[in-house]
Chain A
Amino acid sequence: MTGLLDLAWSERRALLAATAAHLDLVVEALALAVALGVPLGILATRSRAAERAVVGLANVLQTVPSLALLGFLLSVFGGQIGKPPARAALVVYALLPIIKNTILGLRSIDRGVAEAALGLGMTAWQRLTVVELPLAVPILLGGVRVATVASVGMATIAAAIGAKGLGSYIFRGVALADTRLILLGSIPAALLALACDAALGEIERALDPTRPRHSRPRAALAIVAVLGLLGLAAWGWWADRPAWSRGPSIVIGSKDGGEMLLLGHMLADLVEAHAGVTVDRRFNLGGTLVCYNALRRGGLDAYLEYTGTALTTILKEPPRNDPAGVLGRVREALARRDGVACLDPLGFENTFVLLMRREQAERLKVRTISDLRRHLGTIRPGFGPEFMNRPDGYPGLVEAYGLDFARAPREMDRNLLYQAVAQGSIDLAAGDSTDGRIVALDLVELEDDRRYFPPYEAVPLVRQETLRRHPALSRALNRLAGKIDARTMRRLNHEVDGFRRDPATVAREFLRSLGLL
């Protein structure tokens, strides 16, 4: 717990900024949702057909899974990451409660009041603005309140597409398996939800004509609280205002996971130090396709990718075993197809490796993957879901080496595998060749004697257009080329995953030690 408080204290500025950005996202989305939802709600009360259409649409939108919606909006927004698609997603989810409560509010107006309004000779517009809407406001605000609280939670997911906010702590915490970071994001998010709920509750009460007014101190407190929240949101907006109001800058992204965060920070630090360009860091994005689509369409200027992933996931070609051939193929195809430049590899290869306890491997005299064939009856394997399903994972491995394990592999979370082998609950696991836990837990890596696993080199991918705009960029990024071997990468990963150190700090220290900063 003290660890959490220390971390919170050292992160206080960034945490406040993230809270402000989070609130800004929610406030903007809610404002749009009200501007859209209230007229739709009004429209729905004019005819049955309109109501069926409007409520039906809002209901359908509500059921779209959030990640699917984010993915869809990414392509709608032309690969732009960050606030615009995230805001749109929040609007989509906020619409239903706002529309429903607008309808409910307008329908719940006392019949005598409605009839008196007609009898006074009000026009339809006068009835709406003078009577119906003001009377619907308390119920309508109830809908806004529900939508706001839900949006505060939803906005954390928006970190997957690079929206700033508290979700980035949560995602980083998940990527680094660090509970403190998860709490650092979720506790302020929960407090924010409570604060918004209370503030809107006060407004709701103040606008309800039949409820008694508050005492002065309480009313004053409520006004201060509402203004404070709006001020925080305004600050969040100002800090993240569109790029036209700032100097030359580029956006560097990263996929999720400790290694990607480390390398992302290194690339960004090098650019800022040597290319004279400020960097907007959008890290921990939700996967290869989010990053690559954003890069292709201009939402990102650069991120780090593995050549093998580029070959299989982006180009959808079968895995190959010669690193130089893969690099050449990826470089040529990405440049031609998408205008994306593939810079020079950083040095290490990231590939799947099979891991065993050192003591057991020595006792059984297993050095290579082929050696496993002598122990098929006794070895207890365990693999992650991705490895089990990728064609260049388990299915191909069984075929390439004729490994017919007597016991079916246990499928478990990738992050738990290392501990599981080390503690002896399984005997064999597939891991990442650069994972720091290989060193920390003293596991041995079996030699891939038939060269089955395709070697994946790490390369910065950059938009060619960005390289043209910033001529110093490719030299700055290539300063890291060939500088990181697999042992170094493992050590750095261990600093982050094992010792829970901040990836940004570890990255900076490493660059300094190489004299690159």
Chain B
Amino acid sequence: MSATPAVAWREVCKSYPDGHQALRGVSLEVAAGECLAVLGTSGSGKTTLLKMVNRLIEPTSGAVLVRDVPTSEWEPIALRRSIGYVIQDAGLMPHLDILANVGLGLRVQGRPRAERDEEARERLELVGLDPSRFARLRPHQLSGGQRQRVGVARALAADPDLILMDEPFGALDPITRRELQDEFRRLQRRLGKTVVFVTHDIREACRIADRLALVAHGRLVQHGRAVDLLERPTHDFVRAFFREAEAIDAVTEKEGP
């Protein structure tokens, strides 16, 4: 990779205070405009890896570079404001309406009300929610899928070039999940954002990402395009992941979705 990567992990290790080693020397890069899926079983260290990018977690050793600058040199608040962040249950503010939720990132950056409402409406349209219908509702009045769309709209509000997503569609029913995955992929292509997408679902990873990075027990097992991993797995573990997915697909094909 010749151009500067949007995000780079260099020999990153993380030991939690209780002594647990969540990451054991991970090196990985994401090119600008690329969508990278970080794939692994639960507890493998995916979230730890992701949260280092916006300094919610600090590495014990090694370095994380964002736009070629080590995160340790970024002012955490400024760093976070320049990165979109989407989490599993969306984390919307229950006391604010949808418009205010989407515009929250702009609000904390001190942008005037009219401007952030305008931007928020635009982002709602972008994620397929009609602002005239949803703007004034509260999060608890929305379905899980709609809330997650709002979460994506919020991450896009300040127009960041980098977006982190931690199992964003993990809690949705399969049909809604599929719908959001496809829409999100189209959106990502259209906007050209760099995305780091954490998931434990290999089919989701294949559907959304340009490249996959497989993590197990705090180590990077293999990374590359989905076809590379499928055709040239370097590890039994990679094979196992694909087999599992095939088995499920075989069942769903027989039984119908």
Of the listed stretches A81-89, A118-126, A287-295, A380-388, chain B binds: A118-126
Kindly state whether residue B199 has any CB partner on chain A within 8 Å.
no
Give Cα A134–Cα B104 distance, bound, in whole angstroms. Answer: 14
Of the listed stretches A68-76, A107-115, A152-160, A446-454, chain B binds: A107-115
A113 with B56, Cβ < 8 A, contacts A121-B81, A123-B77 known: no
B92, A118: Cβ atoms closer than 8 Å = no
Mask: chain A, 103-141; 1 = CB below 8 Å from B; 0 = not: 000000010111111111111001000110011000000
B77, A112: Cβ atoms closer than 8 Å = no
- List residues of chain B with CB within 8 A of the CB of A210: 94, 138, 140
A116 with B108, Cβ < 8 A, contacts A121-B77, A134-B95 known: no
Give Cα A210–Cα B83 distance, bound, in whole angstroms. Answer: 29
Kindly state whether residue A228 has any CB partner on chain B within 8 Å.
no
Q: Which residue of A lies closest to B94 (CB)?
A: A209
Kindly state whether residue B54 has any CB partner on chain A within 8 Å.
yes
Kindly state whether residue B248 has any CB partner on chain A within 8 Å.
no
Which 3 residue pairs across A and B have the least CB separation, nearest first? A116-B91, A121-B81, A119-B85
A121, B138: Cβ atoms closer than 8 Å = no
Q: Which residues from chain B sit less than 8 Å from chain A, CB to CB? A: 54, 56, 76-83, 85, 87-96, 104-105, 107-109, 138, 140, 154, 164
Q: Name A121's contact: one of B80, B87, B92, B154 (CB within 8 Å).
A: B80
A116 with B138, Cβ < 8 A, contacts A121-B77, A121-B80 known: no
A116 with B85, Cβ < 8 A, contacts A121-B80, A121-B105, A210-B140 known: yes
Distance to closest chain B CB from A500 (angstroms): 56
Q: Name A120's contact: one of B95, B105, B140 (CB within 8 Å).
A: B105
- List residues of chain A with CB within 8 A of the CB of B140: 209-210
Q: Name A118's contact: one of B56, B82, B88, B154 (CB within 8 Å).
A: B56
B81, A120: Cβ atoms closer than 8 Å = yes
Distance to closest chain B CB from A348 (angstroms): 69
Distance to closest chain B CB from A420 (angstroms): 65
Give Cα A83–Cα B95 distance, bound, in whole angstroms. Answer: 38
- List residues of chain A with CB within 8 A of the CB of B85: 116, 119-120
B95, A209: Cβ atoms closer than 8 Å = yes
A120, B80: Cβ atoms closer than 8 Å = yes
Q: Which residue of A lies closest to B100 (CB)?
A: A130
Distance to closest chain B CB from A281 (angstroms): 49
Distance to closest chain A CB from B63 (angstroms): 21
- List residues of chain A with CB within 8 A of the CB of B108: 120-123, 126, 130
Distance to closest chain A CB from B41 (angstroms): 22
Q: Name B87's contact: one of A119, A123, A135 (CB within 8 Å).
A: A119
- List residues of chain B with CB within 8 A of the CB of A135: 93-95
